[in-house]
Amino acid sequence: MRILLTGRNGQVGWELERALPALGEVVATDRSTLDLGDADAIRRVVRAARPDLIVNAAAYTAVDKAESEPDLATRINMAGPGILAEEAKRLDALLVHYSTDYVFDGVKRSPYVESDAPNPLSHYARTKLDGERAVAASGCRHLILRTSWVYGPRASNFYQIIRRKAEANEPMRMVDDQTSVPTTSAFVAQHTVDLIRKSASGLLHLVPSGQATRYEFAREVVQAAKSRSRIEPAKSAEFPAPARRPAYSAMSNARAARLLGAVIPDWRELLPMASS
């Protein structure tokens, strides 16, 4: 199998470049070799690679900045995946595409399932939902994986910020009114490979089991680091940001677990993996 991977230098892309060789030959691209905001470049790279599988780990992920760069976010998160999907259909290739829990508005108070109606609150979230819809509407073979609160060892993410503060024994204030599922980039990559092997298709929620507030997540990281940092709960309103986040966006992984034929571990069990 010949595999085209986009976004090789991102959190998930870096892990995928190491996991995907289990399935075949990988042609890995980054922004310098494939800019998802450039339609002609997408077509040129895909047609040169002639992949059997396209894994799109590239995305515009600056949630707040998207409010002031709406056109760029739309090109990368909606138009780009749509063109990848058109090319995948032309080649009869499978397209794996990643989306986000932020497509939901947080009104629900139990884990969202794939059939729940999305209602994004920010421009970033709207572009991710539009990307999902562009992929599905293309008619290509596809697997869309929604994930949440992705973190790992390679980027400045929420986990890394907390860990640095914990190692310095700094006090912290963390919001306790945003709930979702912390997810490691390694978890996403390995389970992507597993789902491809199972011939999964359509829309899936790919997250560990359980849920947490930002405050609870930080508390677990501090405890794992054996830090003396004190953490106080706070409200989102105390940290105003350009983009609205859903108060509750935990997703159910029941469908993914059934397809995998395995129990998916709780997010707490994956914490040590983030520093490996």
Rounded Cα distance, 102 and 71, in Å: 19
pLDDT computed for residue 153 by the predictor: 85
Per-residue burial over 137-147, b = 16 or more CB atoms within 10 Å of its CB, e = otherwise: ebebbbbbbbb
pLDDT computed for residue 274 by the predictor: 56
Count of other CB atoms within 10 angstroms of residue 163: 22
Which residues have CB under 8 Å from 45's CB, separation 6+? 4, 29, 33, 34
Which residues have CB under 8 Å from 111's CB, separation 6+? 211, 250, 251, 252
Q: What share of the chain is helix, strand, coil (3-state, %, to 5)?
A: 45, 20, 40
Q: Which helix (H) or strand (E) is 71 found in, with range?
A: helix 70-74
Rounded Cα distance, 9 and 31, in Å: 8
pTM: 0.96
Catalytic residue among 102, 112, 124, 215: 124
Residue 98 known to be catalytic: no
Rounded Cα distance, 226 and 86, in Å: 50
Cβ burial, residue 88 (10 Å; 0-12/13-18/19+): buried
Q: Which residues of the chain have pLDDT under 50?
A: 276
Q: Are 223 and 272 in contact (CB under 8 A)?
A: no
Domain regions of the chain by residue span = 2-152+182-210+250-265
Kindly compute the dihedral angle of the four CA atoms of residues 56, 146, 143, 3, in this order, to the nearest 10 degrees.
30
Please give the C-alpha separations between residue 228 and each of 109, 186, 188, 251, in angstroms, as whole numbers: 33, 28, 31, 32
Would you say domain 2-152+182-210+250-265 falls under CATH 3.20.20.80? Answer: no
Structure-block tokens of residue 133: 């819809």
Q: How far, in whole angstroms, is CA 234 from its chain's centroid? A: 25
Place of tokens 């992949």: 51
pLDDT computed for residue 19 by the predictor: 98
